[in-house]
Structure 1
Amino acid sequence: MKIQSAQCSMKGGRPYNEDTAFFTSTPSGFLAVVADGLGGCGGGETASRVAAEVLTEEFLAKPEITEENINAILQCANKAVLSHQTPGQEMKTTLAALLAHKDVYAAVHVGDSRIYHFRDGQLIFRTEDHSVPQMAVLAGEITEGQIRFHEDRNRVLRALGGDKGVKPNIRIWEGSTDRDAFLLCSDGFWEYVWETEMMADLAKSDTPQKWLDYMIGRLGKRYSEKNDNFSAVAVFTDGGFQNL
Structure 2
Amino acid sequence: KPLSTTRLRPVANMGLQARTALQLALLLSLGSMRAMAATSAEVSCAAADAACAATGLPRDHAMLQVGKKQTSRGEPVVPDAKHHPEHHNPYVEKVDLEHKQVGCFPRAKGDPKEKPENFRDPGCVGVGHNETRCHSGLPFFRLQMQQGQSYLDCVTFCVSKGLDIFGVMVQDWGSECRCGASTANTAAWKGKRPPTVLMLPEAPLPEGDEKCAMLVWQYSGNFEDGGLP
TM-score, structure 2 length as denominator?
Answer: 0.30
Normalized per residue, which structure has more strand?
1
Normalized per residue, which structure has more helix?
1
The structure whose RCO (Cα within 8 Å, separation 6+) is larger is 1
Of the two, which has the highest radius of gyration? 2
